[in-house]
Amino acid sequence: MVLHRAYRFRMEPTQAQNEALLRMAGARRWVWNWGLARRKEVYAATGKGLSYQQQAAELTALKKQPATAWLREADSQLLQQALQDLDRAFKAFFERRAGYPRFKSKKKDQPCFPQRVKVEGSKVYIPKVGWVAIRQSQPIDCPVKGATFKRDTQGHWYVTLTAGFEMPDAPLPPADPARVVGIDLGLKEFAVLSDGTHIAPPKFYRKGLSKLRRAQRALSRKQQGSKNREKARKHLNRIHAKVRNQRQDWLHKLTTGLVQKYDGLCIENLNLKGMARTNEYRHRRAAGAASLLSKSVLDAALGEFRRQLEYKTVWHRKHLAVIDRYFPSSKLCSECGTLYTGLTLSDRVWTCGCGAVHDRDLNAARNIRAEGIHKIPVAVGHPETQNAWGGDIRPAQGRPSPSNQESHGL
């Protein structure tokens, strides 16, 4: 089975390359818009459409005319591709899968040049542009099949490389129970692991968020339609982009590290967790906990965390167990298994009847691990053959991990 994965890198074109990229995107957009206008024209005059072949022939003729000879400077495949894309857009329209194709504006355009793009070292080769430096934040370990280029609102270029990789059909190797971890996601700590590791939200992130709030307030004070409002909006966009990039960067490092370190990762289903967190958020906000991240921001980060864990566990051939949404991870004693119904949202530390003193989040992480490990085939003959309160751990089985099936169905 071949799976696809995408790598996204910021490009660092020189001034000349930047201009070449802009010209390229411009030429592609021009051909799309010209092709669309021609189709409309011909349809209005004759009641018939144009085929891709007819349009490609017209484009060749166009290149010979002095006024449009500049098209010869652009990569010819790129221009043909614009016409192919247009043809596909019309087919989708006729099959009622999409609306009528529209003219492309500079703002909404997404140039893509999937052919003849090569990657070597920290450079990507683009026909007619040359070797452009990229900030290669991770190694590319499968053959590159195509590339999409995008310019963000800040004028930075990004390349998304699509690569195909062969996924072995063999079942996943069983996990070493010592390398299975439970992860409790929360409010104050971003995550607490069952081995006691605390992962705090990064400081710069919080700083970025307070900048974001300030920029939002500044924008709301500016008059509608004024130049200053436009400026404030741009400023806000810039901060948004920065915070998003920092978040992604931090999350990628975190999830890659986790997937490399552990064979099996157990997390809670975030939907219900999210509801519990909403209540806890209100509760703690009311109690004056000033250091809390805003809930929407936290949810976005947690959703992204889970998304990354899901695909990275597949790539790295590791197990991901998503545990049942009604599992009371906070209220169970991870020592004796007793349910402590008296637990309130403000209890950060509690004592069980058995005498165990629990840190709320660490206890939850341990319970999540104990529950999740049931879904993960573990190596037989390992000293740890029972979970925290005496239940048997299922031995390895000759089939793919149910945890992965579950997580990808969600």
Closer CB to Zn ion, 212 or 336, in the complex: 336
CA 96 vs CA 89, 90, 93: distances in Å: 10, 10, 5
With binding defined as CB under 5 A, does residue 333 bind Zn ion?
A: yes
19 flagged as catalytic: no
Q: How far is the CB of 356 from Zn ion (least distance, A)?
A: 5
Q: How far is the CB of 190 from Zn ion (least distance, A)?
A: 27
Which of 179, 356, 374, 389: binder of Zn ion (CB under 5 A)?
Answer: 356
Q: Other CB atoms closer than 10 Å to residue 95's CB: what's the count?
A: 8
Closer CB to Zn ion, 263 or 361, in the complex: 361
184 flagged as catalytic: yes
CA 167 vs CA 24, 171, 399: distances in Å: 35, 10, 15
Report the alpha-carbon distance of residue 276 to residue 278 in Å, rounded: 5
85 flagged as catalytic: no
Beta bridge partners of 181: 265
CB 370 within 8 A of CB 384: no
Report the alpha-carbon distance of residue 34 to residue 78 in Å, rounded: 15
In 23-101, DSSP assigns E strands to: none
Query: Which single residue is written with the structure tokens 């404030």?
Result: 232
**Choices 109-117, 138-146, 174-182, 332-340; region in contact with Zn ion by CB under 5 A:** 332-340
Which of 336, 343, 345, 406: binder of Zn ion (CB under 5 A)?
Answer: 336
DSSP label at residue 395: B
Of the listed 75, 280, 361, 371, which one is catalytic? 361
Closer CB to Zn ion, 26 or 337, in the complex: 337
Contacts with Zn ion, 196-215, as mask; x by CB under 5 A:
--------------------
Which of 57, 272, 287, 354: binder of Zn ion (CB under 5 A)?
Answer: 354
With residue 2 as reference, give the H or E element that holds it. Answer: strand 2-12
**Choices 93-101, 152-160, 284-292, 337-345; region in contact with Zn ion by CB under 5 A:** 337-345
Of the listed 184, 263, 280, 371, which one is catalytic? 184
Report the alpha-carbon distance of residue 21 to residue 111 in Å, rounded: 9
Of the listed 263, 268, 280, 371, which one is catalytic? 268
Q: Contact residues for Zn ion (CB under 5 A)?
A: 333, 335-336, 338, 352, 354, 356
| Catalytic site positions | 184, 268, 361
